[in-house]
């Protein structure tokens, strides 16, 4: 017999007008209860009191979810109980759909073969213990029909493949041909309609060796549904005359202006200039005026919103804007005039910003510097205008940095990694050395972001902000427990930022610095884009937004438009609801980009390690989970796991709260931060997994 709560929902869905609780009771409880059988024996039906309680709980849950409206003693269904959206499938095969702030669970048997991120129509069929359950009625649009797969084996007249990068284990098949692939071969397949012996049918687009790294980029793009190449946009047909902003511009072309970026950068968002006098410094931060070239609500603008950001995968970029804009017309290239939105800041000798102004500008970059070249110039002591300007810039940078740390900003010492290429093949992964030139750009961009955010907030102009909430009490307690394991004192009372920064200073330069900084980072909340200014805990700023990278981040483009409305004293270009939507969408796409970039590093790490199975490495325990513990190699930013099942000398217990794995009988312990010698035991490129065991 169906669950009684299912009957209640079915009865409510059938109502076309007002109904009362009494009518539901009469319909569902008033008649004799059906007898149910369980394990061949008669089971007692619910008592009327129990059924009435279930009915009351179910109706209240439906009302709270906004599916039914209550007015005094009457109810009216105001929702079809049909949902449309992208289903998220987990590793167990169950799925979820969102309904407002709630989630509807779709059991594996009710997914109707929907796959992760498919657009589906589903019907709500049950509510139990506050959880809605549904069933997929129709797959409206497949997220994709192409997948990377691994050949598992052949079975009579079929080739069996296991799909990669999907939740759980999903097998598909294709007819066996004369050129049968070998088990372990990789394939790009297209799923087709129909099943053969309970496996979905597919066709093979291409077969290749698992050692062929040319497909790595395509695999990550496909796994994360990253954007396809830009199409042609009508508004770019006459791109050289594509300027939608007739506002007056300030001429900065006589200033000595530079860009400082990475070796392979082409999308130059920002340029800087500086002047020094007896009162202090006049800092100029020039940002590419993308809003002068991209009209709001145009096809190009909507595509930029959908992308949200540019995606950086090794030496390849999937740009938010077409390359004619991102690498040329908007990019602040050396020796050519470019349009900017510029911030002038008057800063005294104590690092305090005493005044500011915003201008539409025109600049001409005198020199395109890389981080390495700028650092070399700073250290050279050569007599030149360029060296002297960089020296003044670093002088101001040191002031701004000291002031920021003193006022509560956290300075985590975590360096990014870089993939090293030779002839378009990754040959190494290295930590990026943090240079003085990196610090110059960081401090100057922070200044501009703060000033723009403060100006928009004080003027009451609706805009987007970059928010970072304070660390939660629960996370602080967890962090304290971890630090206690490391014999590091930590207070949970008083200023959380000051207490955390005290720890960071205490472990600076020690062997455990990296892992402690990593755990602190994991304790912090994720930053996000919001329509109200909530401040930035990590940076210690009451005002903060993203303004300085409009070529590669959509929120920055939005902030430019809002700032121009402030400068022009015109109505805000966005409503609050629009900003909330853009903020949520941009935050989501930022997470996608981060996940894709991590996966690209993972797959390249696997390729670097696959021929080194059996070798011994020095490492540090960098994390603990119920499946084992993670290690990071000492000489390269490559991570792997020591699975619990390889520890056969004892029965090991995982104490996640203590960041420790410990043997029950002999007490052998592996704790986060411990140095350890490990042996590489396996590398699975298809799963992007590296496993070690203690050597």
The better pLDDT of the pair 641, 67 is held by 641
On whether the pTM is more than 0.75, the answer is: yes
CB 659 within 8 A of CB 482: yes
Rounded Cα distance between 449 and 248, Å, is: 23
CB 123 within 8 A of CB 134: yes
pLDDT band at 55 (very low <50, low <70, confident <90, very high): confident
How is domain 146-210 classified at the CATH fold level?
A: OB fold (Dihydrolipoamide Acetyltransferase, E2P) (2.40.50)
Rounded Cα distance between 670 and 453, Å, is: 46
Rounded Cα distance between 688 and 603, Å, is: 5
Sequence-distant (≥ 6) Cβ neighbours of residue 367 within 8 angstroms = 258, 259, 334, 386
Sequence-distant (≥ 6) Cβ neighbours of residue 19 within 8 angstroms = 12, 74, 75, 76
pLDDT confidence of residue 37:
40
Domain segments of the chain: what residues?
4-77, 82-141, 146-210, 234-469+525-599, 613-694
pLDDT confidence of residue 31:
54
Find, among 574, 378, 322, 362, the residue nearest to 464 by Cα: 574
Q: Indicate the CATH number of 613-694 among 2.40.50.140, 3.40.630.10, 3.10.20.740, 3.90.470.20.
A: 2.40.50.140
pLDDT band at 240 (very low <50, low <70, confident <90, very high): low
The better pLDDT of the pair 492, 543 is held by 543
pLDDT confidence of residue 414:
87
Instruction: Determine which of 85-99, 200-214, 353-367, 502-516 has the lowest per-residue pLDDT on average.
Output: 85-99
The better pLDDT of the pair 39, 442 is held by 442
Rounded Cα distance between 370 and 9, Å, is: 64
pLDDT confidence of residue 33:
42
Q: Is the pLDDT of residue 22 over 70?
A: yes
pLDDT confidence of residue 40:
45
What phi and psi, each to the nearest 5 degrees, are found at residue 117?
A: 75, 10
Tokens of 31: 């008649």
As beta bridge partners, residue 654 has 661
CATH 2.40.50.140 fits 82-141, yes or no: yes
Rounded Cα distance between 265 and 368, Å, is: 10
Q: Is the pLDDT of residue 3 over 80?
A: no
pLDDT confidence of residue 45:
55
CB 266 within 8 A of CB 331: yes
Q: Is the pLDDT of residue 555 over 70?
A: yes
CATH 1.10.1760 fits 4-77, yes or no: no
Q: Is the pLDDT of residue 50 over 90?
A: no
Two domains, one topology: 4-77 and 613-694: no
Rounded Cα distance between 621 and 605, Å, is: 18
Within 10 angstroms of residue 203's Cβ, the number of other Cβ atoms is: 11
pLDDT band at 1 (very low <50, low <70, confident <90, very high): very low
Q: Is the pLDDT of residue 399 over 60?
A: yes
Average pLDDT over residues 657-661: 89
What tens digit of pLDDT does each residue of 279-300 get? Answer: 999 999 999 999 999 999 999 9
Average pLDDT over residues 169-187: 90
As beta bridge partners, residue 431 has 417
């Amino acid at each position: 017999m169906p669950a009684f709560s299912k009957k209640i929902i079915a009865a409510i869905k059938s109502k076309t007008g007002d109904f009362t609780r009494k009518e539901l009771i009469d319909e569902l409880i008033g008649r004799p209860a059906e007898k149910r059988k369980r394990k061949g024996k008669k089971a007692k039906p619910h008592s009327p009191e129990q059924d009435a309680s279930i009915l009351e709980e179910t109706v209240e849950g439906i009302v709270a979810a906004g599916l039914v409206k209550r007015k005094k003693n009457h109810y009216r269904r105001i929702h079809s109980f049909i949902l449309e959206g992208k289903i998220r499938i987990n590793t167990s095969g169950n799925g979820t759909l969102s309904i407002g702030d709630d989630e509807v669970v779709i059991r594996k048997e009710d997914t109707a073969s929907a796959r992760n991120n498919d657009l589906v129509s589903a019907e709500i069929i049950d509510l139990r213990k506050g959880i809605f359950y549904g069933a997929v009625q129709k797959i409206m649009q497949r997220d994709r029909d192409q997948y990377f797969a691994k050949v598992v084996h052949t079975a009579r007249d079929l080739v069996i493949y296991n799909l990669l990068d999907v939740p759980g284990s999903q097998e598909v098949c294709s007819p066996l041909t004369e050129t049968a692939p070998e088990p372990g071969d990789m394939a790009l397949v297209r799923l087709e309609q129909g099943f053969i012996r309970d496996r979905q049918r597919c066709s093979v687009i291409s077969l290749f060796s698992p050692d062929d790294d040319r497909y790595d980029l395509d695999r990550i793009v496909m796994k994360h549904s990253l954007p396809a190449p830009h199409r042609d946009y009508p508004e770019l047909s006459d791109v050289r005359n594509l300027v939608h902003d007739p506002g007056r511009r300030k001429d900065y072309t006589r200033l000595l202006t530079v860009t400082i970026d990475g070796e392979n950068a082409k999308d130059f968002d920002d340029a800087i200039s500086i002047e020094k006098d007896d009162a202090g410094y006049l800092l100029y931060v020039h940002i590419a005026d993308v809003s002068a070239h991209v009209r709001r609500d145009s096809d190009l603008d909507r595509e930029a919103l959908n992308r949200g950001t540019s995606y950086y995968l090794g030496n390849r970029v999937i740009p938010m804007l077409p390359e004619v804009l991102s690498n040329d017309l908007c990019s602040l290239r050396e020796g050519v005039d470019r349009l900017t939105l510029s911030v002038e800041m008057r800063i005294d000798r104590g690092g305090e910003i005493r005044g500011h102004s915003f201008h539409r500008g025109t600049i001409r970059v005198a020199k395109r510097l890389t981080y390495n070249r700028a650092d070399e110039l700073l250290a050279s002591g050569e007599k030149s205008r360029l060296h002297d300007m960089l020296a003044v810039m670093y002088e101001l940078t040191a002031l701004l940095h000291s002031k920021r740390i003193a006022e509560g900003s956290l300075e985590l010492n975590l360096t990014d990694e870089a993939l090293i290429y030779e002839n378009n093949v990754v040959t190494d992964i290295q930590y990026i050395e943090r240079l003085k030139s990196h610090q110059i750009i960081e401090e100057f961009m922070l200044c501009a972001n703060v000033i723009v955010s403060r100006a928009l907030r004080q003027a009451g102009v609706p805009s987007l902000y970059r928010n970072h909430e304070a660390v939660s009490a629960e996370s602080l307690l967890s962090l304290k427990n971890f630090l206690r394991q490391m014999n590091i004192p930590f207070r949970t009372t008083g200023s959380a930022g000051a207490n955390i920064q005290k720890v960071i200073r205490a472990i600076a330069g020690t062997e455990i610095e990296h892992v402690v900084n990593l755990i602190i980072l994991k304790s912090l909340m994720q930053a996000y884009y919001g329509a109200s200014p909530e401040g930035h805990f990590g940076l210690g700023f009451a005002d903060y937004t993203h303004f300085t990278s409009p070529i590669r981040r959509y929120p920055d483009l939005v902030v430019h438009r809002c700032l121009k409305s402030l400068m022009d004293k015109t109505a805000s270009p966005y409503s609050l609801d629009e900003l909330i939507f853009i903020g949520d969408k941009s935050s989501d796409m930022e997470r996608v980009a981060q996940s894709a970039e991590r996966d690209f590093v993972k797959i390249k790490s696997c390729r670097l390690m696959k021929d080194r199975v059996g070798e011994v490495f020095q490492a540090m325990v960098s994390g603990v989970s119920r499946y084992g513990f993670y290690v990071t190699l000492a000489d390269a930013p490559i991570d792997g796991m020591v699975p619990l099942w390889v520890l056969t000398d004892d029965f090991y217990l995982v104490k996640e709260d203590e960041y420790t794995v410990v043997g029950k009988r002999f007490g052998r312990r592996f704790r986060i931060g411990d140095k350890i010698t490990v042996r590489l035991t396996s590398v699975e490129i298809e799963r992007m997994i590296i496993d070690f065991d203690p050597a």
